[in-house]
Structure 1
Amino acid sequence: MTTAERQPFDTEEYEQRARGGPCFICAFLAGDPAYRHETVYEDEHHVAFFDRFPTLPGKLLAAPKPHIEHAVRDLDEAAYIRLMLFVRTVALAMEDVLKPERTYLLSLGSQQGNAHLHWHIAGLPPGVPYGRQQYHALMAESGVLPTPPEETSALAKRLNQAINTRLRPGA
């Protein structure tokens, strides 16, 4: 899948849902089918899952399971370090599997929408022209990639295996 295959994305509908609906991560974790995401990996404290509206192949989100809204104020040092080690492990596994040219890590959201703390983990495929990299590659306004469920499920298994390998070397 390449970034050239982007499909139009309704940003107004997305904003209404993000601002007027429940917390998408809490709803996902509670099993609400309207907020279903493909889980890649989870542990006691965190979850990694595919972005429903990916702008790059295999784009992931990583979040703490409890509803936490601010990385600096709402996490003590130990929880912050645990979260960042989780994000790093997921990002390294994504690099093992997808071999991106660069890995983007961003924490987005605000009190007005998508308030649950989460990190975007997005691998830039090799060969993307410079003018379509960085923020341009991440903007849904430029369209999103279609995600066939069978491809998503197969990639989730590969990423899960890569994460487990990183967490249990030699196992």
Structure 2
Amino acid sequence: MDLGRYVERTRSGPCFVCAFLAGDPEYAHEAVFEDDHHVAFLDRWPTLPGKVLVAPKAHVEHAVRDLDAAAYLRIMLVVREVALAVEEVYASERTYLYSLGSQQGNTHLHWHVAALPPGVPYERQQFHALMTEHGVLSPSPQEAQAAAARLRTAIAARAISTPPG
């Protein structure tokens, strides 16, 4: 991963979630869940195995002011169900859930679901484990497809259902 190129792309390129949803091959990801309002997909540059992003399909930028209470609760239910499936597929000591982004880049609201494997030394956990500066994993396309398939199966078994609206 070229971190400088990534930063430039996030700041000057199209919205990565919207481009992915539009089918732009430059922004392709392995989807693991989709309903009328949400999408979840494997992180292209994961720092931990099976790292998934969950986003609303609508281009929303602020979790608090752009989502009403019902929409917020719906997406948080999806984040929870996806996280439980990630924990089922990837043994984890802890599962990190966080939302990042900025008005200067990666503006589309999204949550990260990252399962910390057991045995990671404490000094390499938390923010250290999440920072691309410390390296990213490079699963092959076949490995990513297999991981996505396992996650889709686990998510489907959970039968995610969100309240209408």
TM-score range, shorter chain: over 0.9
Residue 92 (1) aligns with residue 105 (2): no
Q: Give the secondary-structure state (helix, strand or coil) at the position aligned to 1:123.
A: strand
With normalisation by structure 2, the TM-score equals 0.95
Structure 2 counterpart of 1:10, from 2, 25, 28 = 2
Aligned identity (percent) is 68
Residue 46 (1) aligns with residue 42 (2): no
RMSD: 0.9
In structure 2, the residue matched to 1:105 is 97
C-alpha deviation, 1:10, in angstroms: 2.1
Q: Give the secondary-structure state (helix, strand or coil) at the position aligned to 2:44.
A: coil
In structure 2, the residue matched to 1:128 is 120
In structure 2, the residue matched to 1:146 is 138
Alignment partners' CA distance in 2, 1:10 and 1:163: 32
Q: Give the secondary-structure state (helix, strand or coil) at the position aligned to 1:14.
A: helix
In structure 2, the residue matched to 1:74 is 66
Alignment partners' CA distance in 2, 1:110 and 1:163: 29
Unmatched segments (≥5 aa) in structure 1: 1-8
Unmatched segments (≥5 aa) in structure 2: 161-165
Q: Give the secondary-structure state (helix, strand or coil) at the position aligned to 1:112.
A: coil
Structure 2 counterpart of 1:161, from 143, 153, 161 = 153
Deviations 1:67-118 (A, max 9, x none): 0000000011110000000000000000011111100001000100000000
C-alpha deviation, 1:146, in angstroms: 0.8
With normalisation by structure 1, the TM-score equals 0.92
In structure 2, the residue matched to 1:119 is 111
Alignment partners' CA distance in 2, 1:13 and 1:164: 36
Alignment partners' CA distance in 2, 1:65 and 1:133: 31
Q: Segments of 4+ in structure 1 off by > 2 A?
A: none
Alignment partners' CA distance in 1, 2:106 and 2:128: 21
Higher RCO structure (Cα 8 Å, ≥6 apart):
1
Q: Give the secondary-structure state (helix, strand or coil) at the position aligned to 2:19.
A: helix
Structure 2 counterpart of 1:33, from 25, 28, 31 = 25
